[in-house]
Amino acid sequence: MRRQNTRAIGARYEEKAAAYLSAAGIEILARNFYCRGGEIDLIGSDGQYLIFFEVKYRRSGKDGLPFSAIGGVKRRRIFLAARQYLYLQQLPENTPLRFDAIGILGEEIIWLKDAFRETRI
């Protein structure tokens, strides 16, 4: 039961992040892109970059900040999923990419642009 509640909460805050990003001029291209190697919460474009978003929510700061939950393993899975997305969409290797994070702490939304990088994408 907890897993289902966690997914429902995650979906609600991913929707909130998508609305926030849309209002900021980001075109949302995909949500919850899954592949064998990983998952990406939101994929969007600002007209210059293809942006892969990781969305993290924390009710309060007592459990740590939202961004602290994006560790090395999670980043590697995002990079794998991003490669797969590029391949499936037949996008060129030199497509300008960015990896951003959306942290939601309570009701506050924090957009961290260029939150992490991978040099071999």
pTM attached to this predicted model = 0.88
* DSSP SS3 for 71: coil
* Residue 70, pLDDT score: 83
Contact 21, 53 (CB under 8 A): yes
The yes-or-no verdict on residue 99 having pLDDT over 70 is yes
Token match 């509640």: residue?
A: 5
Question: Considering only the top CATH level, what class is 2-112?
Answer: alpha beta
Rounded distance between C-alpha atoms, residue 78 and residue 36, angstroms? 11
Q: Could you state, in order of their start, the residue ranges of all structural domains in the chain?
A: 2-112
* Residue 76, pLDDT score: 92
Rounded distance between C-alpha atoms, residue 108 and residue 121, angstroms? 31
